[in-house]
Amino acid sequence: MNDFLARAARGDGDAAYDLGICYQTGTAGVAIDLIEAHKWFNLAAIAGMEAAQFARAEVASAMSARQIAAAQAAARSAARGWMAQTEQRAA
């Protein structure tokens, strides 16, 4: 799980997708959490993974509008944090 997180933090779409699967299915030691699954699928989709777009839509179909909004906010926050880290490393 830590490996997925580290790779996803570097913008690895495959790792973000794998995290989405973990949270969608409750594998790799995490409980099912559709908000987290949606967040990770969203980040994977931003990284260019087409499969993540479909997975995100599938998860969203089982979520309320409030849950989807929370997942989108979490994805935006994560993306901003990672971009800030990238800028600091580049400086």
Domain coordinates in residue numbering, the chain: 2-90
pLDDT at position 76 over 70: yes
The pLDDT, as a whole number, for residue 85 is 61
Distance of alpha carbon 55 from the chain centroid = 11
Q: What are phi and psi of 33, to 5 degrees?
A: -150, 100
36 vs 88, higher pLDDT: 36
Tokens of 62: 């089982």
Cβ atoms within 10 A of the Cβ of 53, count?
15
Q: What is the pLDDT of residues 3-59, one digit of tens each?
A: 888 898 888 999 999 999 999 999 999 999 999 999 999 999 998 999 999 999 999
Q: Is the pTM of this model over 0.85?
A: yes
Decide: 67 and 34 in contact? Cβ < 8 Å: yes
Q: Give the relative orientation of helices 34-46 and 13-25 as an angle to the nearest 10 degrees.
A: 160
Query: What is the average pLDDT across 65-73?
Result: 97
